Amino acid sequence: MIPVTVLTGFLGSGKTTLLSRLLRHPDFARTAVIINEFGEVGLDHELVETSEESFVELQTGCLCCSIRGDLARTLADILARRERGEVGAFERVVIETSGLADPAPILHALMTDAGLAERLALAGVVTTVDAVNGAATLERQPESVKQVAVADRLVLTKTDLVEGGAAALASRLAAINPAAAVVSASFGDIDPDLLFADAGDPVRAAARLEAQARAAAHPHHHHSAAHDADIACFAVVRAAPIPAVVLTLLLEALAEHAGGDLLRLKGLVNVAESPDRPAVIHGVQHVFHPPTWAERWPSADRRTRLVFITRGVPQAWVEALLAAIEAEVGEVAET
Amino acid sequence: MSTTALDDAVAVLLARSLEAWRVSGTVERAGDGALAVTVAGRELRIARAPADLPFRWVVEEAGRTRGATSVTGVLRHVRAAVDPLWRPVRLRIAALPLPLAPP
């Protein structure tokens, strides 16, 4: 399986600079890059220099709207060229979205195309945030709030230009998405391990999910912008194992009622029928991967921990929904 | 009439749901144990289904009764009645399990 990372971030937030630096790093060799630019004449792909082992493909148009099918075709094409030896045997794919893109439909394309899913696996979402203009962008551009909300990792860029650091912005980001790790990159300089270290290691990834659940359980209570006040990150925790049917009913109801407002759901689940290893679940809006089973629990903590990033979906409703489903399944089991 | 843990949980769920959907209304328990959801003058009555019906719940409004096999079915009926702009979204499962757990 080849991991795919989606690199997003608002216009001018430093995606291309970050990518250029990453592609020059020896540990980031053998990378296929797909750059989406909005407009017929693209420039970003001209600004990205790669080693001989990596290469860049360009797509124009908006990935999240009309050309989602084109993304699938481009990915299928580079896989076919890789098999024919026409391009290097790349070991990872990075999709750089246009600054205006909503990342969720792109994630859906990666998750639901059966042909691609046999070869490619979504490894995560990295979102760049400009330390200089990021706060103002979050105030004015709802797309940028969503880009932050769905991220697994946030990269603060241009931190060298901000006197006194970017503590206020970091706090704001933590309010929108406390589950995401935040790292800084000046001039795009960053250790690739900080962005991609967990790919391919389910136990490390499960451990990271644990940390995210802890962060989500103690969110920052800082909402400075009216239009991101509806974005919330919270964790739902259950000490008792959850029957598989409860999990199924919960996910169905969440998709049915929350749909597009369920920006991200990740979790470690202690499934009653298989308590010795956690099920790792991962969904974007109404689209979920089938659960993956980690080999073992990452720590002694075997509680179910579900990390939600939502828009206008109250934690109290999710808790009440889960409690009612649990009560009904429990009642049926007793009869 | 005494209520079970499930009855209480459904009452809480319905009240929280109205809040989540930003619908003004009330959820009250009737003398027979049924739940009454009142929104803009409309009343829905939610009760356990009689044993001879192949449902667990019945949702009744203005003499029209619908069956539901689970609390999530009840929730679907209630939302359809009180939130006319709502369009349910069907859960979609990705093509394959996530081989690389999310970072």
A-B CB pairs within 8 A amount to 165
Q: Mean of the pLDDT values across residues A184-188?
A: 76
pTM of the model: 0.74
- pLDDT at position A174 is 84
Chain A contacts of B18, Cβ < 8 Å?
Answer: none
Interface contact B17-A317, CB threshold 8 A: yes
Interface contact A292-B103, CB threshold 8 A: no
- pLDDT at position A201 is 54
Q: What is the rounded average pLDDT for all residues in chain B?
A: 89
- pLDDT at position B79 is 96
CATH no. for A2-200: 3.40.50.300
Pick A203-334's CATH classification: 3.30.1220.10, 3.30.479.10, 3.40.50.1100, 3.30.1360.120. 3.30.1220.10
pLDDT single digits (tens) A83-132: 998 888 888 899 988 887 788 888 888 887 888 888 888 888 999 998 88
Domain extents in chain B: 5-82
Distance from CA of B41 to the nearest CA of A (A): 23
Across the interface, of B6, B21, B89, the residue whose CB is closest to A331 is B6
Using 50, 70 and 90 to split pLDDT, how confident is the model at A48? Answer: low
pLDDT single digits (tens) A194-204: 777 665 455 55
Domain extents in chain A: 2-200, 203-334
Residues B1/B33, Cβ–Cβ less than 8 Å? yes
Q: Is the CB of B70 inside 8 Å of chain A's CB atoms?
A: yes
Interface contact A323-B95, CB threshold 8 A: no
- pLDDT at position B9 is 97
Closest residue in chain A to residue B9, using alpha carbons only:
A324
Interface contact B70-A205, CB threshold 8 A: no
Q: Is the CB of B51 inside 8 Å of chain A's CB atoms?
A: no
- pLDDT at position B86 is 92
Cβ atoms within 10 Å of B99's Cβ, excluding its own: 17
What is the predicted ipTM?
0.94
Percent of chain A with pLDDT strictly greater than 70:
80
Q: Is the CB of A288 inside 8 Å of chain B's CB atoms?
A: yes
Using 50, 70 and 90 to split pLDDT, how confident is the model at B101? Answer: very low
Q: What is the rounded average pLDDT for all residues in chain A?
A: 80
Q: Is the CB of B85 inside 8 Å of chain A's CB atoms?
A: no
Q: Is the CB of A334 inside 8 Å of chain B's CB atoms?
A: no
Across the interface, of A196, A287, A324, the residue whose CB is closest to B13 is A324
Angle at alpha carbon of residue B19, lines to A102 and B48, rounded to 5°: 115
pLDDT single digits (tens) B29-78: 998 889 999 999 899 999 999 999 999 999 999 989 999 999 999 999 99
